[in-house]
Amino acid sequence: MQHLQNYFPTLVVETLLGRNSPKISRHERKTSTWWSGVPKASPDSIFGIVEAFKKDETPHKINLSVGAYRDDNGKPYVLPSVLKAEEILKSKNLNKEYALAEGLSEFNSLSFDYAFGTCNEVGKKGLNATVQTLSGTGALSLFASFAKKFFPHAKTMYLPKPTWGNHAPVFKNAGLETKDYKYYDFKTFGLDYDGMLEDLCKVPEHSMVLFHACAHNPTGMDPSKEQWEELCELVKQKKLFAFFDMAYQGFATENPDNDAFAVRHFSKNNLKFAVAQSYSKNLGLYGERTGTLTVIADSQEERAKIISQLKTLIRTTYSNPPIHGARIVTEILSNSQLKKEWMAELKGMVQRLVSIRKALRDALVKEGSKHNWDHIVKQVGMFSYTGMKPEQVDKITKEHHIYLTKDGRISIAGVTTKNVEYIACAMHQVTK
């Protein structure tokens, strides 16, 4: 104590010992910790459902909340092409050294070609600033941080309404503001294209707008090619900055080139935009966190500067990305035989989803439902936006042990030939 007083005046010592803090009771002093002021965050909507599902002891419970592919036995699916790529990697005896901050360069360049096509002018001119990311979410959040620091205009990201539940939190977390534009007509269960145009026409010039490149989550409704062409014109006229979230390339139409139509069309029209890419769904690499972010630059000098800043953001958050998933993708995309096998497996996944959509709609009709469920068949991708209301969702969970998000979205991948009738019966019971 004496030693301490040589360095600090008495008052400071008294304060340090808590004698000058009458506002804090002895009890509080005992119970308050460094982190006692941390409020509990509200649980992520999907992971909260997964927790509730785990606790449910009913054997016939069904989880339709998570967007991960399941086979017709309801089991996760590791693609055979992925297993083959892993065998090849094993035989190569590679080391586990760090990747560069921007990731594996061959992976980045093959991924860019997968998204933009091999004959793309941007690629030929070397204008793509492409970096490996922690899958699609990592690409979104990296872009958000980059935009927060360097986007020269209003830092607002316009999002379709509805959109993937994590979009707004990711952008807000980086300090951007988010606003909505109309996307879906809840009455017709279709794309509200007119509403979308109306809202996007009102967006201030030089704003950032997010588009789902294909297989829109949660609605499963995408603009047609003609509509994308018109949207491209609008983006050009209004000088908007487009950011494509392409989390499902290949999952909408089973043809990755078709699914990349919007991205390639915008690129053909010389627009400068950004793309987040993910291999979670189309290659089943969910837990490997494999994706890219591409920002198109105006010149090679600009590209070098963008890359340098993306690398700085990566370096200060996680230093460098994981290598295993990127190596798998590199093996597959650089080996024509393996790529062919992957394309067949991707087709197989999409075709199962298409046929189970039809089976679900037919089973609802068979149950005698008076509602029109055709939208289930019209929608594409991993999800169906069923139109079930929150109270119907509560009921189907409580009474039938079927778990889904409050907005009535079901993961079609969780529906199988074995459970489709049970699901249809339950949907009919809660919607009649």
Task: Spot the catalytic one: 84, 164, 199, 342.
Answer: 164
**Contact predicate 338/346, CB 8 Å:** no
User: Which 8-state DSSP code applies to residue 33?
Assistant: -
Which CB, 191 or 364, lies closer to ligand PMP?
A: 191
**Out of 160, 291, 387, 414, the residue judged to bind ligand PMP by CB under 6 A:** 291
Q: Which amino acid is at 338?
A: L
Distances (CA, A) of 272 to 159, 268, 294: 19, 10, 11
**Out of 108, 135, 330, 419, the residue judged to bind ligand PMP by CB under 6 A:** 135
Which CB, 143 or 431, lies closer to ligand PMP?
A: 143
Q: Number of H helices and number of E strands within the chain?
A: 19, 13
Minimal distance, residue 281 CB to ligand PMP, in Å: 7
**Contact status: 65 vs ligand PMP (CB under 6 A):** no
Task: Spot the catalytic one: 228, 259, 281, 373.
Answer: 281
Dist. CA 111–CA 131, nearest whole Å:
10
**Contact status: 137 vs ligand PMP (CB under 6 A):** yes
> Is 222 annotated as catalytic?
no
**Contact status: 428 vs ligand PMP (CB under 6 A):** no
Give the binding range for ligand PMP (CB under 6 A) out of 121-129, 130-138, 255-263, 264-272.
130-138
Which CB, 247 or 393, lies closer to ligand PMP?
A: 247
Q: How many chain residues interact with ligand PMP (CB under 6 A)?
A: 13
Minimal distance, residue 8 CB to ligand PMP, in Å: 50
**Out of 245, 259, 341, 345, the residue judged to bind ligand PMP by CB under 6 A:** 245
User: Which 8-state DSSP code applies to residue 320?
Assistant: S
Task: Spot the catalytic one: 245, 259, 342, 373.
Answer: 245
Which CB, 144 or 359, lies closer to ligand PMP?
A: 144
**Contact predicate 321/142, CB 8 Å:** no
Dist. CA 206–CA 189, nearest whole Å:
31
> Is 164 annotated as catalytic?
yes
Residue 192 is encoded by which pair of tokens? 């509200």
Give the binding range for ligand PMP (CB under 6 A) out of 91-99, 135-143, 193-201, 221-229.
135-143
Dist. CA 193–CA 317, nearest whole Å:
39
Which CB, 46 or 122, lies closer to ligand PMP?
A: 46
Residue list 66-105, contact with ligand PMP (CB under 6 A): 67
Residue list 141-180, contact with ligand PMP (CB under 6 A): 164
Place of tokens 């047609």: 224
How many CB atoms are closer than 10 A to CB 166?
Answer: 17
**Contact status: 379 vs ligand PMP (CB under 6 A):** no
**Contact predicate 243/276, CB 8 Å:** yes
CA neighbor of 402 nearest in space, from 6, 88, 139, 65 = 65
How many CB atoms are closer than 10 A to CB 322?
Answer: 17
> Is 245 annotated as catalytic?
yes
Which residues are CB-contacts of 355 (< 8 A; sequence separation ≥ 6)?
Answer: none
**Contact status: 217 vs ligand PMP (CB under 6 A):** yes
CA neighbor of 403 nearest in space, from 166, 70, 55, 164 = 55
Just list the catalytic residues.
164, 245, 281
Binding-site ranges for ligand PMP (CB under 6 A): 67, 135-137, 164, 212, 217, 245, 247, 278, 280, 286, 291
